[in-house]
Structure 1
Amino acid sequence: MSTYIYAITSADHPLRLKGIKGVGDPAGELRALGTQALSAVVSDAPAGLRAKRRDLVAHQDVLERLLADGAVLPMRFGLVAPDDEQVLTALDDQRDAYLERLKELEGCLEFNLKASRDEDDLLREIIAESEEARQLNEFTRENPDARNQKIALGELLSREIQHRNSVQAQHIVDRLASLTVRQHAAEQQDSNFLNVSFLVRRENMELFSRAVREEAERRGPAYSLSLHGPLPPYSFV
């Protein structure tokens, strides 16, 4: 039977899994596969596994219980190995890399920060500060059939938006970096100009959250900063 993998831990990590069930219906029984240095928390993989709320919650519950007792390499939902032997082989083959990453993650959790800005506010800023943009904007308003100028204005605005968003994203990361261990930039989504995960030590979590709130207040209502966490450190595995 194939093996569903929840997380990898050090061999001496507490495995307080009593009362916690795995994915599937009926819920899978959790067990540990161990080598001398590492353990993998697994269960039998159910047939036809899909991302149902019940199973997502079960996966998260296992990770939260493990994270309460120390560093964990969390696996994303749905990771399945052909069998237990393949899991044990991977633990041996990747022993040094897994141990190094566990050491790095000790005492840390992940926070994800997304930031967006009101588009009209940004466009007003560009028009106010760019003479070229202002002239093109006025010309196309007075000459609605001026196709070339409209294209030029659109290209200019696109470049300015990308540049200004990039600058502001870096400013935010720089202001928060001193309270974090590492950062991992993810793909921007929807209207967000920033989508970044931070690895934060447990003792700095409140300071970090407060710094994000202060940054949002400093920037005002045109900006929206959305912080999620603490989370399992998926982005740093």
Structure 2
Amino acid sequence: MPTYVYAVTGADHPLPLHDLTGVGDPPTPLRALRADGLAAVAGDAPPGLRAKRRDVLAHQGVLEALMRDGATLPMRFGLVGPDDDEVVAALRREADVYRERLAELDGHVEYNLKAVRDEADLLREVVSDSAEIRQLNEQTRADEGDHDKRVALGEMVAREVTTRHQREADEVASRLAPAATRSHLADPGPQQFLNVSFLVPRTDADTFVAAVRQEADRRGDAYAFTLTGPLPPYSFV
């Protein structure tokens, strides 16, 4: 039977599996598969498993419970191995890598930060700072029928917006980096200029959150920061 894998821990990690509720309806019992000083927390994979709210929350609940007792390598929702033997074989094959990651993540959590900037505010800045864009903008207003100039203006503004978004993303990430152990930049979503995850010592979480608030205040009302966490450190596994 296929095996659903929740996480990898050290073999001496507390595993109160009888107190945890896994995925599936009814939930499948959890078990520990051990090899080379490691344990994979697993269960039978329910047939036709999809990312329903109940199952996603169950998966998250297992990870959060494990993380409270020590370093845990969280697996993403829906990770399924062919069977228990194959999962154990993977533990043996990647044992050194897993132990290295567990040591790195010990005592850490993840925070994800997304940021957007008001578009009108950014465009005003772009036009104000560029004489070339300002001049071309005035020309297109005077002659709305000049298609080539409108296209050129749009391309220039788009390039400048992209450049400024990248610069601001680098600036925010760099200013917050000292409050974290590591960071991981991901592709921002629509309208966002920043999507970054930080690996933060659990004991320093309040300090990190305060640093994010300070940065948001410094940027002003034209910016909106969304901080999510603490989370299992998915981005650093």
Q: TM-score range by the shorter chain?
A: over 0.9
Structure 1 residue 187: deviation in Å? 1.4
Paired amino acid for 2:35 = T
Q: Does 1:89 align with 2:92?
A: no
Paired amino acid for 1:50 = R
Structure 1 residue 35: deviation in Å? 1.0
Equivalent in the alignment of 1:148: 148
Answer yes or no: is the 8 Å Cα contact 2:140–2:150 preserved in 1: yes
TM-score if structure 1 supplies the norm length? 0.98
Structure 1 residue 148: deviation in Å? 1.3
CA–CA distance in 2 between the matches of 1:49 and 1:137? 54
Equivalent in the alignment of 1:126: 126
CA–CA distance in 1 between the matches of 2:48 and 2:151? 50
CA–CA distance in 2 between the matches of 1:174 and 1:45? 41
Percent of pairs with identical residues: 56
Can you list the C-alpha shifts for 1:161-202, whole angstroms capped at 9, x where unaligned? 011111111110111000111111111111111001000001
TM-score if structure 2 supplies the norm length? 0.98
CA–CA distance in 1 between the matches of 2:217 and 2:17? 41
Correspondence list, 1:155-166, <5 A: 155-166=155-166
Paired amino acid for 1:125 = E
Structure 1 residue 159: deviation in Å? 0.8
Q: Does 1:14 align with 2:9?
A: no
Paired amino acid for 2:124 = R
Q: Which runs of 5+ in 2 are unaligned?
A: none
Equivalent in the alignment of 2:236: 236
Q: Does 1:117 align with 2:126?
A: no
Structure 1 residue 153: deviation in Å? 0.6
Equivalent in the alignment of 1:205: 205
Equivalent in the alignment of 2:167: 167
Q: Give the 3-state SS of the residue equivalent to 1:18 in structure 2.
A: helix
Answer yes or no: is the 8 Å Cα contact 1:17–1:65 preserved in 2: no
Correspondence list, 1:20-39, <5 A: 20-39=20-39
Paired amino acid for 2:81 = A
Answer yes or no: is the 8 Å Cα contact 1:5–1:42 preserved in 2: yes
Structure 1 residue 16: deviation in Å? 2.0
Structure 1 residue 231: deviation in Å? 0.3
Structure 1 residue 17: deviation in Å? 2.5
CA–CA distance in 2 between the matches of 1:210 and 1:46? 42
Can you list the C-alpha shifts for 1:53-81, whole angstroms capped at 9, x where unaligned? 11111101100110001111100000000
Can you list the C-alpha shifts for 1:32-65, whole angstroms capped at 9, x where unaligned? 0001310000000110101111111110110011
Correspondence list, 1:25-64, <5 A: 25-64=25-64
Q: Does 1:136 align with 2:114?
A: no
Answer yes or no: is the 8 Å Cα contact 2:36–2:95 preserved in 1: no
Aligned residues: 237
Equivalent in the alignment of 1:105: 105
Paired amino acid for 1:151 = V
Paired amino acid for 1:149 = K
Q: Give the 3-state SS of the residue equivalent to 2:19 in structure 1.
A: coil
Can you list the C-alpha shifts for 1:109-129, whole angstroms capped at 9, x where unaligned? 000000110111000001001
Q: Does 1:2 align with 2:40?
A: no
Answer yes or no: is the 8 Å Cα contact 2:15–2:66 preserved in 1: yes
Structure 1 residue 152: deviation in Å? 1.1
